[in-house]
Amino acid sequence: MKNIHILFVLILLSVITSCTDKFEDFNTDKKNPAIVSGESLFSSAQKELCDQISSTNVNQNVWKLWSQQWTETTYTDEANYDVVTRNIPDNTFRYYYRESLKDLDEASKIINATAAPFGEDPAIKQNKLQIIELLKAYTFQQLVDIFGMVPYTEALDINNVYPKYEDGYTIYKDLLTKVNAAISGMEASSESFGAADLYYAGDVSKWIKFGNSLKIKIGITMADADNALAKTAIESGVLGCFSSSDDDCLLAYLQASPNFNPLYADIVASGRDDFVPANTLVDKMNALDDPRMAFYFTKTDTSTNSGVVKLAYLGGEYGYSSPFSQYSHIAPEITKPNFKGILFTYSEIQFYLAEAAARGYLVPKTAAAYYSDGIRASFAFWGADNVETYLAKPEVAYATATGTWQQKIATQSWIASYTRGLEAYTTWRRLDFPIFNIAENITTYSEIPLRFTFPINEQTLNGTNYKAAAIAVGGDELTTKIFWDKH
């Protein structure tokens, strides 16, 4: 009888344990694990960042409009600088911090706290941590270039829901310090993230070039605010920066949801016809007879006589209603699901170095040589032919093109930055070229915005720090200049 009781207890315990295990399985969301690896968070941050940069969703990214690369067909609020109706600053602010920076920060903490497998090269862990620092620096620079001042030192502390804002100049200087430290802390001969790195597949040598290129980008952007620091940053990075378009920082999007390019989602999958190329860009490229137009836009029938077809590139009037059927469209290649996300390119760096040479910095080539190489790299990226013929045009050649070095470099950099609205917009803000068109709902050129206003939520939820930032930045207005905008 005793043995029967023991057997009954054992069976009962087995049933209870089995039920408990099944109950626990039932209540565990295996598609959203409670513990995520640092490497997975890093991949997520990379995709979210590139999605934000690539998107033309007017709720969170209006830079292709504000750089006057594109304009709107029917609802022209965003092309007319309305950022309030859709709470665009709030959405942008949240996307950068929550979707990208927070994942990067958590990835760094997890990787730092995780013991490396026995026998693994310790340099691998350090490479991962320094790559994260570089991508955080890239992201924070974008935030400064959008708002002028942002939470920085206190921004990612989950225990501090009221982070203070720091001025852009202070952040820029610290970013240079962090980028230098990250470059010094990496070992090119060792591995890093491998396939979890969606940009460079774990190639540390590419990330070192990215870091040196980022120093150039930060340096040239702040050159009018601190020429000495800009000069030091650029001269220290020039020999280790991108050396060809093989170093471009890109994301290879896929054909299927949710991993296709957001441009496809915004322009094709949405079933909406919201955007056409803006006349600001199309007219400039028409005047130069620029071969890249075939890769940027489609042609449309511009004939006035019925039955007579006259195809040409025609941009919608910026900031005015521009019916989709009457103007050129975005080139089909750009709206494919797997069109690559573009973060940072060799062409971009060549224009920065052209500017550095024009400013008298010690760089290996002349301004004319860098300028020409920037155009060549852009043509190659898009697959356009006849670049040397284009460079020989008097209106394109560096020696004979109209205007100051600022006008020459800014114009060609702006054209080459197509689909990369924030870079194109920042070039215009820094160098004051090309000349933009005046949208319908403003009356003077000086009303064109120079930044985003701070998020409305920050005014209510982080009011004390918001008020201090509004004073420090020079007034929370769309037309307030960012610290590096001195002209």
What is the per-residue pLDDT across 391-413, written as a single tens digit (0 to 9) for each?
A: 999 999 999 999 999 999 999 99
The pair phi, psi for residue 151, each rounded to 5°, is -60, 135
Q: Which residues contact 350 (CB under 8 A, 6 or more apart)?
A: 370, 371, 373, 374, 377
Contact 319, 437 (CB under 8 A): yes
* The pLDDT value given to residue 118: 75
Q: How far apart are alpha carbons 13 and 10 in whole angstroms?
A: 5
Query: Domain 38-262+339-472 is in which class?
Result: mainly alpha
What residue ranges do the domains of the chain occupy? 38-262+339-472, 277-335
* The pLDDT value given to residue 117: 85
Burial classification of residue 276, based on how many CB atoms lie within 10 Å of its CB (0-12 exposed, 13-18 middle, 19 or more buried): buried
Compute CA distances 420 → 28, 29, 347, 424, whole Å: 41, 38, 12, 6
407-422 per-residue burial string, b: 16 or more CB within 10 A, e: under 16: bbbbbbbbbbbbbbbb
Q: How far apart are alpha carbons 291 and 396 in whole angstroms?
A: 13
Taking the CA atoms of residue 383, residue 385, residue 390 and residue 396 in that order, the dihedral angle to the nearest 10 degrees is 0
Helix/strand/coil (H/E/C) assignment for every residue in 418-444: CCCHHHHHHHHHHHCCCCCCCCCCCCC
User: Tens of pLDDT along 272-299?
Assistant: 999 999 999 999 999 999 999 999 999 9
* The pLDDT value given to residue 33: 52
Q: How far apart are alpha carbons 90 and 458 in whole angstroms?
A: 8
User: Tens of pLDDT along 129-181?
Assistant: 999 999 999 999 999 999 999 999 999 998 999 999 999 999 999 999 999 99
Contact 144, 171 (CB under 8 A): yes
User: Tens of pLDDT along 420-473?
Assistant: 999 999 999 999 999 999 999 999 999 999 999 999 999 999 999 999 999 999
Got the DSSP string for 39-70?
HHHHHHHHHHHHHHHH---TTT--HHHHTTSE
Mean pLDDT in residue range 198-223: 98
The H or E element containing residue 220 is helix 204-221
Encoded tokens for 14: 């087995």
Closest CA to 140 of 160, 161, 156: 156
Task: Give the length of the chain.
Answer: 487
| pTM over cut 0.85 | yes
